[in-house]
A = this chain, B = another copy of it.
Amino acid sequence: MSTQKTNPTAGIILIGNELLSGQTVDLNLNYIAKKLFTHGVDLCETSVIPDLENEIIRVVRDYSKRFTHVFTTGGIGPTHDDITAETISKAFGRKLVRNEQAYQILVEKYGEENLTDSRGRMTMMPEGVELILNDSTGAPGFRVENVFVMAGVPTIMHAMFENALTVIPKGEKRQKVIVSCKVYESRLAPGLHSIQDSYPQIEIGSYPHWIEGKSWGVRVAITGRDLIAFDETKKKVLDLCQSFDEKSHCLEE
């Protein structure tokens, strides 16, 4: 019997018409992606979908089956277009009920006399969830099975995600380094190809940056879990880059 551990995986579902109409620039994917990388969880895929019941159900069910953890952002506020909680209840065949713990949090925050129907709407959740607390505005997100349901507003999402991370076991962190050099990407290509062939367990990504008349060059990102292979790959890539541009250097480790 194999004792090999499989590293935890994740998918993100960004829910909101405003991202698809171009009205809002997403700030959540990169935030979550960086945190998951540091946490050793492999982010495998992200979808941006509209506030439509059928779409949310389809993608949430699909991601929930395919990944260890799923994170959704958006659609859990007090207004008519916030349909995520209700829709996720349907996706998992659970009743939508008032979460008493969430209700008490809002009562303490706003006073019972200010707990309007609309605010109360934010305490309606699938039955039997774990709350994801939010130290910013109070109204919590929730976890149902392996799906973490969070707000879309970045500051609120950040507060929730920090709390969500505390219940997610760490995976094995990938090492990472970026080698920056000023050379045409096509000149690096044969050397990089050859290094990649020698170290298939290490991921070598080549990313040109190109702003005409301003800045250009290549960043080579090296990531992996095998420490010896990682160090060897890093040395070979740096040597390769310096053979074209002696100022090539490591940007971050």
User: Which residues of A are in contact with B by a Cβ distance under 8 Å?
Assistant: 16-26, 29-30, 32-37, 43-51, 55, 77-82, 116-119, 121-122, 136-137, 152-153, 155-156, 174, 176, 178, 185-190, 192-193, 196, 203-212, 221, 223
Given contacts A16-B205, A21-B221, A80-B204, 11 further A-B contacts (CB under 8 A): A17-B203, A23-B176, A23-B178, A23-B205, A79-B188, A79-B206, A82-B206, A118-B185, A118-B186, A155-B212, A156-B210
Q: A45-B47, A204-B81 are in contact. Are A136 and B18 (CB under 8 A)?
A: no
The CA-CA distance from A185 to B118 in the complex, in Å, is 9
Q: A78-B185, A212-B136 are in contact. Are A25 and B21 (CB under 8 A)?
A: no
- 25 A-B Cβ contacts within 8 A? A16-B205, A17-B221, A18-B221, A19-B30, A20-B43, A21-B37, A22-B36, A22-B43, A23-B221, A26-B29, A29-B48, A44-B50, A45-B47, A45-B48, A45-B49, A46-B48, A78-B186, A79-B186, A79-B189, A80-B192, A82-B206, A116-B187, A116-B189, A118-B189, A153-B209
**Chain B proximity of A176: nearest CB distance (Å):** 7
Q: Are B29 and A80 in contact (CB under 8 A)?
A: no
